[in-house]
Structure 1
Amino acid sequence: MPATKTAPAAARRKGEAPPRPDRQQAILLAAEKLFAQRGYHAVTIRQIAEEAGVPLALVAYYYGPKQDLFHAVFAHWSQTIDERLQALEVASRDPADPLTLTRIVEAFVQPVIRMRSSPEGQYYAQLVGRELAYNSEEADRVLREFFDPMAHRFIDALHHALPQGSRADVAWGYQFALGALLHHLVDDRIERLSHDLNKASDPAAAERLVRFIVGGLRAAMPISAQKSQPTPPRRRQA
């Protein structure tokens, strides 16, 4: 969370109560919720202030213009990126292990799905899936600062686990995997399409998504590279 800004004492009206840290948090949570539900451009600072139950001027006092508040929401959740990178480090220690690819994908998927399934993380997960999938100045700033460095780490680890393809091949695979993950975060149609047998927030969906992405990554490698891989010997029939 960004550090609290200090307003000059002379700028405060006589008798005005100083801002409280709980108000700062309320503003951040309100912005996260409204950005996730309506989209960045459909939300005004006034609506955020009303949702947070604070005076309009207090939003700018703490966070400045709307684009900086948008950025602050992602800064607040940056520990989720650290969690994924820590899991990646453990998962990629032995690229030759047949399970390494699955473990890397688990590090990519599972922390986000857990967040999506939790009451405190559901709005942020929806915000990531909704806003970062579109080209905009605000999203590009967030992607470059928070998500691109993580993406490069994952692509490098995946390349070590999939040496039959080039890093460029693996980058395509990462892009497709990201699309599957982001769509899962924001789309609730699975409930309707499954006749309410499946729930969008079901954390058990993570295992299915991991298997789907692992299979897709392997299939996305060049055809010639797949054919060149040794085929396990067939067992003789008795």
Structure 2
Amino acid sequence: MNSRPLPVKRRATRAAAAEAARPDRKQAILLAAEKLFARHGYHVVTIRQIAEEAGVPLALVGYYYGQKHELFHAIFAHWGHSIEERLAGLRAVDNDPADPRTLPRIIEAFIGPVLALRASAEGEYYALLVARELYHATEEADRVLRGYFDPLAEAYIDALHIALPHATRGEVAWGYQFALGALLHHLSDNRIERLSRGENRRGDPAAAPMLVRFIVGGLRAALPRPRTPNKKTHPRRQT
């Protein structure tokens, strides 16, 4: 005896439950959003486009992540370990202002993990997303900056202020922003291949030592140590 077919509503519910039971779908949505946001920008991309890129039903995006801004934040929560890696690298630096190696080591800890992400298959789009979206002062980007990246910035500014004690915190904060600008541009720039006539590759991690020297040199030039007055020696008077 044949069983009666399930009502349409119950079949749809079971189908949705089956889809939700597949953990790869959740990861696929996150990766699709990361890729599309990085390539086209947060405000341009729709939830439907993310679902199509991930190969999942449209409703499943909302089931896992809610609204688009919540999905955007979920990407940065997923990559929170990369921020922890940069903070761990900073804590490993022996911050001795008298040691000329201190400043380069701080900058290496700042840029190294990011360049490694940009060069990796799994982190390429995240690094590009950071460079592209966080540069723009949108409401979504500001929330991410405050929640994830401001604590990182504060820690590095504190460390730079120790390494450059002759500068004010305000001056060091400017220096941090200039360093960040150089890093973000290196991550996202596409012109370098054309301008170098094919000699350079965009986002090339091999350029890291040059980028470190550039940032360190800029900080040292912009925040020079105060000059000590020259002591002139006078000949003794004859008595």
TM-score (normalised: structure 1): 0.88
Q: Percent identity?
A: 66
Match of residue 122, structure 2, among 106, 120, 123: 120
Aligned equivalents of 1:12, 1:136: Cα separation in 2: 41
8 Å CA contact retained: 2:189, 2:203? no
Partner residue, 1:208: 210
Shift of 1:166: 0.8
Aligned equivalents of 2:43, 2:157: Cα separation in 1: 31
Partner residue, 2:107: 105
Specify the structure having the higher radius of gyration (Cα).
Answer: 2
Shift of 1:86: 0.5
Change (3 A) 1:151 1:14: closer
Aligned pairs for 1:58-77 (under 5 A) are 58-77=60-79
Aligned pairs for 1:88-99 (under 5 A) are 88-99=90-101
Shift of 1:148: 0.1
Aligned equivalents of 1:87, 1:137: Cα separation in 2: 30
Residues 179-198 of structure 1: CA deviation (Å, up to 9, x unaligned): 01011111111100000001
Residues 137-196 of structure 1: CA deviation (Å, up to 9, x unaligned): 100000000000000000000010001101111000000000010111111111000000
Aligned pairs for 1:27-176 (under 5 A) are 27-176=29-178
AA aligned to 2:126 is Y
Residues 201-223 of structure 1: CA deviation (Å, up to 9, x unaligned): 321111110000001111221x6
Change (3 A) 1:200 1:226: farther
Aligned equivalents of 1:212, 1:229: Cα separation in 2: 29
Structure 2 stretches lacking a partner, 5+ long: 1-8, 231-239
8 Å CA contact retained: 2:186, 2:203? no
AA aligned to 1:34 is L
Aligned equivalents of 1:140, 1:109: Cα separation in 2: 21
Count of paired positions: 219
88-97 vs 155-164, which moves further:
88-97
Residues 68-113 of structure 1: CA deviation (Å, up to 9, x unaligned): 0000111111111011000001114434322010000000011111
Aligned equivalents of 1:154, 1:145: Cα separation in 2: 16
Aligned equivalents of 2:229, 2:73: Cα separation in 1: 45
Q: CA RMSD of the aligned region, Å? A: 1.8
Aligned equivalents of 1:229, 1:83: Cα separation in 2: 43
Shift of 1:229: 9.2
8 Å CA contact retained: 1:92, 1:157? no
Three-state SS of the structure 2 residue aligned to 1:155 is helix
Residues 104-144 of structure 1: CA deviation (Å, up to 9, x unaligned): 00000111111111111111111000000011010000000
TM-score (normalised: structure 2): 0.87
Match of residue 177, structure 1, among 172, 176, 179: 179
Aligned equivalents of 2:146, 2:229: Cα separation in 1: 36
Three-state SS of the structure 2 residue aligned to 1:173 is helix
8 Å CA contact retained: 2:97, 2:165? no
AA aligned to 1:227 is R
Shift of 1:13: 3.8
AA aligned to 1:116 is R
Change (3 A) 1:14 1:59: closer
14-23 vs 45-54, which moves further:
14-23
Shift of 1:33: 0.1
Partner residue, 1:227: 227
Aligned equivalents of 1:45, 1:227: Cα separation in 2: 58
